[in-house]
Structure 1
Amino acid sequence: MKLDMLIKSACDDWSAEAQVPAGLADRALRRRTRRRTPRVVLAAGSTALLVGVGVAVVSVAGPTRQPSQSAIQPVPLSADTTLRTDLSSSFPRRLVAAGHTAVAAYYTTHMRSSGNGPKAIERTWHLYSPASGTYQKTSWAYLDVAPGMHHAAVLEALPSSRVGILDMKTQRVTRWIPVGHPVGGVAWSPEGRRLLLTSYDRNPDVNGAPGSSSRTGFYVVDAGSGQGGFHALPADRDRVGSRQDLFWSRNGTLIWTFVDRDPGKVFYDLNGARRPAPAHEAEWSEEAGLSPNGTLRPRFGPRPGPAVTITNVTTGKAVAVLPIQQAKAWADDDRLFAFGCAAKQCKGKGEFRNRLLLVSLDGKITPLTGYRRSDRPGAWYPVFTHR
């Protein structure tokens, strides 16, 4: 069992409580080697298409299939690479973006207690509205944004008996897709045509001991027609954490989930059968993962940091050592979104005062947002999407 991932998963689940800082795992593992489950899988290139959706209600709950009442209209991804920043507040209000990537949404967390029962992590989501150019607070329990940032997939509750397709411009649901097995996680495919839905018997964000996850399987659903099938995939009983979501591989042909043992991920085909990992995709150290061209990977360290080393996956040689805490997503092949703290104050409690940065491989750092306190309840966490 991989101790680093055990520590990280457990600490992140506890981080919404006031008594445990949100950055506790990063702080602890910095004394060891490294470093929870990312919320995003980025498209590998800029040629992906986003599916336009209509208003038909299509169910995957049973054998009956209702055809879509509207044609699928592919929408090219934006070629806009304008740098967008919001330095005025601790929580982004205006769009934050660089290169081909944007912060499409963000969420904050707090712990909700129900009597004497276990506590649950509850998220408050802020979703980008193209109409206003700002992030708007929503009531959704969980969501993910499609490449192109025209649509989001939303869940009303955890777990939910239906998935909504939301038009981000109007902020209204244009289609509901019922499911026979309630789902608690949702992820758009890299090309924006399919949804990967992780099913659970109960709320996956209720804190529980190892082996307590209620994951039952997953759906792969066509976003245009709403058609898809359920595949059983029970939870990993050795893994810490109740949420065991599934995610897309870089090219969308496989899916994967985290495990608490090396190398960190296991892969499956779209029917749920185990498959070998694609080259360089199994290891997980930093959330950003492989660069869009597949040649570079960030890794935590060297100590004492803050530092993240960018390595060429073919040669194994270090390309750059960046003075950042976490590499979150690639803006393009040469620049990363990252969290970093003030250069001369990044020790002790100072490391929890950090903000989102754009960092280039040659060391140039551009602040993107105001500072947040990651050791306090209500700290925000970004969701990145190809814009």
Structure 2
Amino acid sequence: MKVEELVRRSLHQMAESDAYPDPGLAGRALRTRRRRRARGITGAVAAVAAVVAVAVAVPLAVPGSGEGGPATGPRQDVVGRPGESPPQGLIAAGDMALSTWHTRETEKLPGGDAIEGRKWRLYDPDTGRYEETDWSWVDVAPGMRTAAVLEKDLPADRIGLLDLATGEVERWIPVDGEGVGSVEFSPDGERLVATAYSHNPDRRFKDASYWLNEDKLPGAKRSRTGFYVVDVDSGDAAYTELPYSDDPDNRVTGMNGREDLNWNSDGELLWEHWPYEPGRKYYDLDGGQSDPPAQEKHVSYAEAGLSPDGRLVGGEFAGEGDEISSEVLDARTGKRVTTVPGQQLLAWADDERLIAWGCDPGVCQKNEYRNRLVLIDLDGDKVIPLSGNRGGNGADAGRWEPEFTER
């Protein structure tokens, strides 16, 4: 396997874990090859200088919670907070809104172990702000009225359904058997997939320590046992055994204890991240391995994935030299349709626009991690800032990570 491919896949594994690459790793990767994906880029962004950047700071309307009204209030096409990082007020574009964001936090335990969990901020339609929560895991349903939450100590033995209008848990759904460490709504919001673990996937163990640069860190132990598919209305939870994939060529010792399962675009299959092409491994709801759906055959590591109309795929970093760009592919053929001035594609706002991490001329020249949320059209001639620039670098556990939901 080529060196650059190993670097890319190793970075992907670190991105999905609670470990971060040191800032120098990107430079070393670039010396191997200038063209690589978003988390490993360095250099200037002069090619983006011609992009029209329009800052949008729309006052947030007081949201209503009446039957049938949107949870985020009267809808405005773009709600940006270019002066806020991390964001305090609502960010939204097209069909999507920033429903939650989280930071990574490490709790040291006696004996040298640690918990490397997430601190979640959840959008509160009453205050119009992202409020701090004590939940260990949060996923917001389409429509942004309900969130599935897990209590602090993982794995959890029940799933809460949180009413975002009241801030109260309306109902608890017990899981009988293995506890769960993550939960995700299906695209239609009618089901949940909850990944089961035998111990906390965020726990790090002294007796599994590994070296990261000059530091010896407590490491993860893989413990996925299976998953539950939960009917939201009835609360019925069906368990399927599906241990982690023990591939001798896929050993990332110590870095990643999570192997959460996710819904595919139509809610017919599940997938998990995979360090080899095409970047995802698919399963049916009985736990059997499945081929990728035809429309998702060319979906890879980029978070944006398939466009709402199924025509396009948000692809990987495609910049050459100092250029900052990512490719957009034809979902049928996998061929490049265009490139857009984004560092990393995160979500489709609609069929014609993408939400991405972006870099400004003069900012990422000095620090590649100083990116911000932007809205990009497929022509690439218009970039609208949605947040302020993030601080720190890739090793900074306090950096905020966004989660987007259909509103």
TM-score range, shorter chain: 0.7 to 0.9
Quote the Cα distance in structure 2 between the aligned partners of 1:317 and 1:257: 24
Matched, 1:166 2:162: yes
Identity %: 43
Secondary structure in 2 aligned to 1:221?
strand
TM-score (norm 1): 0.82
Name 1:284's counterpart in structure 2.
300
> What amino acid is aligned across from residue 376 of structure 2 in structure 1?
V
Name 1:229's counterpart in structure 2.
238
Quick check: 2:194–2:229 contact (8 Å CA) kept in 1?
A: yes
Matched, 1:9 2:18: no
User: How far did residue 105 of structure 1 move?
Assistant: 0.5
Matched, 1:34 2:34: no
**How many matched pairs?**
347
**Residues 149-164 of structure 1 aligned to structure 2 (within 5 Å):** 149-156=144-151, 157-164=153-160
**Residues 109-128 of structure 1 aligned to structure 2 (within 5 Å):** 109-128=104-123
Matched, 1:148 2:168: no
> What amino acid is aligned across from residue 200 of structure 2 in structure 1?
N
User: How far did residue 268 of structure 1 move?
Assistant: 1.2
Unmatched runs of 5 consecutive residues or more in structure 2: 40-66, 211-218
Name 2:284's counterpart in structure 1.
269
Quote the Cα distance in structure 1 between the aligned partners of 2:25 and 2:106: 16
> What amino acid is aligned across from residue 91 of structure 1 in structure 2?
P
Secondary structure in 2 aligned to 1:186?
strand
User: How far did residue 313 of structure 1 move?
Assistant: 2.7
Quick check: 1:295–1:312 contact (8 Å CA) kept in 2?
A: yes
Change (3 A) 1:222 1:173: same
**Residues 50-89 of structure 1 aligned to structure 2 (within 5 Å):** 80=75, 82-89=77-84
Quote the Cα distance in structure 1 between the aligned partners of 2:181 and 2:148: 12
Name 2:339's counterpart in structure 1.
321
Name 2:399's counterpart in structure 1.
379
> What amino acid is aligned across from residue 135 of structure 2 in structure 1?
W
Unmatched runs of 5 consecutive residues or more in structure 1: 37-72
> What amino acid is aligned across from residue 202 of structure 1 in structure 2?
H
User: How far did residue 123 of structure 1 move?
Assistant: 0.9
Name 1:139's counterpart in structure 2.
134
Quote the Cα distance in structure 2 between the aligned partners of 1:20 and 1:8: 14
Quote the Cα distance in structure 1 between the aligned partners of 2:376 and 2:329: 15
Change (3 A) 1:223 1:295: same
Secondary structure in 2 aligned to 1:9?
helix
User: How far did residue 77 of structure 1 move?
Assistant: 9.3
Change (3 A) 1:76 1:250: farther
CA deviation digits over 1:47-76, x for unaligned, max 9? xxxxxxxxxxxxxxxxxxxxxxxxxx9999
Quick check: 1:301–1:309 contact (8 Å CA) kept in 2?
A: yes
CA deviation digits over 1:324-354, x for unaligned, max 9? 211100000111111112223323x421111
Quote the Cα distance in structure 2 between the aligned partners of 1:196 and 1:178: 13
> What amino acid is aligned across from residue 134 of structure 2 in structure 1?
S
User: How far did residue 355 of structure 1 move?
Assistant: 0.8
User: How far did residue 265 of structure 1 move?
Assistant: 1.4
Quote the Cα distance in structure 1 between the aligned partners of 2:304 and 2:181: 23
Quick check: 2:17–2:258 contact (8 Å CA) kept in 1?
A: no
CA deviation digits over 1:123-150, x for unaligned, max 9? 1110011112111110100110000000
Quote the Cα distance in structure 2 between the aligned partners of 1:27 and 1:168: 45
Quote the Cα distance in structure 1 between the aligned partners of 2:326 and 2:283: 29
- Partner residue of 2:187 out of 173, 190, 208: 190
> What amino acid is aligned across from residue 288 of structure 1 in structure 2?
A
Secondary structure in 1 aligned to 2:85?
coil
Matched, 1:311 2:329: yes
Secondary structure in 2 aligned to 1:5?
helix
Quote the Cα distance in structure 1 between the aligned partners of 2:226 and 2:34: 36
Quote the Cα distance in structure 2 between the aligned partners of 1:84 and 1:129: 16
User: How far did residue 11 of structure 1 move?
Assistant: 5.6
Change (3 A) 1:124 1:324: same
Quick check: 1:149–1:385 contact (8 Å CA) kept in 2?
A: yes
Quick check: 2:17–2:257 contact (8 Å CA) kept in 1?
A: no
Q: Which 10-residue stretch deviates more, 350-359 or 279-288?
A: 279-288
Change (3 A) 1:359 1:32: closer
User: How far did residue 12 of structure 1 move?
Assistant: 5.5
> What amino acid is aligned across from residue 339 of structure 1 in structure 2?
W
Matched, 1:178 2:144: no
TM-score (norm 2): 0.78
Secondary structure in 2 aligned to 1:311?
strand
Quote the Cα distance in structure 2 between the aligned partners of 1:317 and 1:259: 22
**Residues 235-274 of structure 1 aligned to structure 2 (within 5 Å):** 235-238=244-247, 239=250, 240=252, 241-274=256-289
Quick check: 1:301–1:307 contact (8 Å CA) kept in 2?
A: yes
